[in-house]
Amino acid sequence: MILRVEFMQLSFWRALGQGWSLRSRCRMGTVQGGKVAATIDGLMLLLRQYNGMTRMVSSRVLAGLLLFGLHSACAAEQNGYGTVINPPRPLPEVTLEDQFGQPFTWADRQGGPALLFFGFTHCPHICPTTLSLLKGVRDRLPVELAEQLEVWLVTVDPMRDSREILSAYLSNFGEGFNGARADLAALVPLFKAFGIGYAYRVDEAGGYDVDHTTSVFLLDPAGNLSHVYTAPHDPDGLLQSVRGRLQEFQK
């Protein structure tokens, strides 16, 4: 049996002139026996909780969830590299835990600006490549700016990515890298706010695929969404934009 659960945000990508094709498909390891059943049961529970937004596709594609993400009322203007969100958008009060098990929300997080990427630790290509890109951006910033900037991986696979796994994974990228997780149902408002799309596919052999949006997001020091960078990412363009935004935050 193949289970596919999709979270697609359409109006936001149309507004940016981008499409759902800007996503990654990451092949994970196998899920054995009861773990497959547990995964399916958990995802079906989520679907029942949001049954007003689901539709049956086929016996092999069980349901789709439509999330409306960044609403058109939030002005998005093109300004150099990436897209400025003007005014910056507050995020929903979703309680997450970091890789050390400490709970937080973006609004009450004690820190400076942050770059966010939604992915997962078993992703073989897109996620490590993007996180390495963000490490390169942070390493190339002036020291006084780099010290302010945090990089966050928000997992789209909390069933696999425990805080211990996140901590071990992020240690490969060095200082300034953090992980965030929560139960899948609790993450839905956050995915909606960021316009995140992703899909799970569980096949009969126990293989577990995840498709996910590959954009990078910049939060201002108050924890508001300030800038969106859609793939493909240009290292120099991203560096220049992030440096400029960090300098503006200091004013």
Name the band, by pLDDT with cuts 50, 70 and 90, for residue 116. Answer: very high
- Residue 200, pLDDT score: 81
- As given in the structure block, the two tokens for residue 163 are 């805080």
Range in 7-11, 179-183, 231-235 the model is least confident about: 7-11
* Amino acid at site 102: Q
- As given in the structure block, the two tokens for residue 28 are 């994970």
CA–CA distance, 129 with 168 (Å, rounded to integer)? 17
106 Cβ partners below 8 Å, 6+ apart? 91, 94, 219, 223
- Residue 207, pLDDT score: 72
pLDDT: is 82 or 36 the higher one?
82
Q: In a 3-state reduction of DSSP, which class is residue 206? A: coil
CA–CA distance, 241 with 246 (Å, rounded to integer)? 9
What is the DSSP track for 71-105? -TTS-EEE-SSSEEEEEEEPPP---EEETTS-EE-
Please state the pTM of the whole predicted model. 0.73
- Residue 219, pLDDT score: 96
CATH superfamily, domain at 3-250: Glutaredoxin (3.40.30.10)
Report pLDDT digits (tens) over 227-239: 999 999 999 999 9
**For the residues 108-120, what does the mean pLDDT come to?**
89
CA–CA distance, 78 with 98 (Å, rounded to integer)? 32
Hey, where are the domains in the chain? 3-250
The conformation of residue 135, written as its DSSP 8-state character, comes to H
Q: In a 3-state reduction of DSSP, which class is residue 29? A: strand
Report pLDDT digits (tens) over 30-52: 333 333 334 444 444 443 443 33
Place of tokens 């092949």: 27
| Strand pairing class (216-219; 114-119) | antiparallel
Name the band, by pLDDT with cuts 50, 70 and 90, for residue 138. Answer: very high
- Residue 23, pLDDT score: 36
Q: Are 52 and 58 in contact (CB under 8 A)?
A: no
Reply yes or no on whether the pLDDT at 187 is more than 70: yes
Q: Are 191 and 67 in contact (CB under 8 A)?
A: yes
**For the residues 6-21, what does the mean pLDDT come to?**
34
Q: In a 3-state reduction of DSSP, which class is residue 119? A: strand
Reply yes or no on whether the pLDDT at 246 is more than 70: yes
Q: Are 177 and 170 in contact (CB under 8 A)?
A: yes
Phi, psi of 229 (to 5 degrees): -120, 110
Q: Are 60 and 2 in contact (CB under 8 A)?
A: yes
The conformation of residue 111, written as its DSSP 8-state character, comes to S
Reply yes or no on whether the pLDDT at 179 is more than 70: yes
Helices and strands (H, E) in the chain, number of each type: 7, 15
